[in-house]
Structure 1
């Protein structure tokens, strides 16, 4: 049924439930897995004033390096978990993208037939203010999505 799962993770406790659930499913059905971690664009709106170019340049470099290091450690852990279950996997880090957009593009380019991601299940004002990457993926994908809460 499913042969290639895309499992999105931000390293949070909730996302780890999605990783575990996706890996258990992949192990049972013999599917391959692509793990993805996405680093969102640097929040330039937080900076202002005459020194913005100088300060933001250093902060941007640190932000990008921290994102790469975090993603490497996270994806290495995911790969080790997959290896322990005998699941073929790879990890990808995508920089400077909104998570939903990156997940949608990656699921198509990697020919994934199931997207696995976690959701807090926020409603109302909380969802409006915080946004929901899961809701956006659900709204725009043609690929089945398994949402773990």
Structure 2
């Protein structure tokens, strides 16, 4: 794998990355389960509306996501909101979604777009989960950024 970039992560994501990096492998898996449990349920307006979501095929379990971007005069003023749907029986996938939700939801579009593509590699999870699973988190981040770009294009 290529070297991890030194582009800084937004503060909420950096804090989560620090927690994971300082944890033992067993604790990393426990933290992942906590993020899985804390992933917010979909709001009523999205109930039964997975057709409005994008499937992340790289994930080993079915994961769907969508992004909303508030109005604003600039990317710095446009807040991003993330929504994920993943089955309860897929705790690793839900955990990755939970990390991204906790670390990115509510940030500005500019902040989300500035997140380096290799951010998922900064959590020290490669020792705790398979590379295939980590690829799913990288794919989630890529789709989030692509949707933000699409929804902020003028």
Name whichever structure is richer in strand by fraction: 1
Does TM-score exceed 0.5, indicating one fold?
A: no
Normalised by the length of structure 1, the TM-score is 0.26
For the pair shown, which has the larger CA radius of gyration, 1 or 2?
A: 1
